[in-house]
Amino acid sequence: MATPDTRTQLLDAAEHLFAEHGYRGTSVRAITTRAGANLAAVGYHFGSKAELMAAVVRRVIEPISAAQRAGLDTVLARTSDPSVGELVEAFAGPLFDRMSAGGEGGARTSRLIVTILSDPAEEARSWTGPGEDTVREGYLAAFARVLPGLSPEELRFRMRGMLAVTAVDRLEVHQQPTPGCTSPVAGEAARRWAVTFLAAAMSAPPAPG
């Protein structure tokens, strides 16, 4: 196994540290030290710390987005009237795959996504690209067809809830669990739980009022 080049080692180290300590909580020095590289390497390969973060996020998000897009295409190719559960599975499933694949990569991914979503830093706005938005718009349209009774606003609220559940889910598993919490659950079980939970939520009739 040839040692990967400096650029890749920086991405790996940064992904670890950003996920664990957040963007502001991670120093460029910590990243380069972990990567076994020189302090100036970040500047040389990425330009700045913010651009390194953007590269890390892109590397993590893009396969997930692609899987979501492919899943939606597959479902819609089979039938023009899919079930809510199928759509939920296609949307939420890819967010669990890294974890199911073994190791703690999934928890790290989850943590990183939460960091992206919740980091109030200015730079965070440019971390995700337009690709993710179009995927979400695609699911939005599909759900809108399947759930005709919902107002666009309420549907958007539910989409956001879906994202929240899948992203935040593993948060307390990876860091220390709430007292009394059992051992970290396997990714496969969490995936089933999430799909069940979210399919029921998405299928609910519109709120009264």
Partner DNA sequence: GCCTCTTTCATACGTTCGATTGAATCATAC
Partner DNA sequence: GTATGATTCAATCGAACGTATGAAAGAGGC
Q: Which residues bind DNA (CB under 7 A)?
A: 5-7, 26-30, 37-45, 47-50
For residue 194, what are its two tokens? Answer: 């999430």
Residue closest to 65 by CA, chosen among 181, 206, 163, 147: 163
Q: Which does 134 bind (CB under 5 to 8 A by kind): a copy of itself, DNA, none?
A: none
**In whole angstroms, how close is the CB of 71 to DNA at the nearest point?**
36
String of DSSP letters for 159-177: HHHHHHHHHHTTHHHHSPP
**In whole angstroms, how close is the CB of 44 to a copy of itself at the nearest point?**
26
Dihedral of CA atoms 133, 113, 36, 52 in degrees, nearest 10, equals 30
Binding site for a copy of itself (CB under 8 A): 20-22, 24-25, 111, 114-115, 117-121, 125, 133, 136-137, 152-154, 156-158, 160-161, 163-165, 167-169, 171-172, 175-176, 178-182, 185, 189-190, 192-201, 203-209
**In whole angstroms, how close is the CB of 15 to a copy of itself at the nearest point?**
14
Alpha helices in 79-151 (DSSP H): 84-92, 94-100, 105-118, 130-146
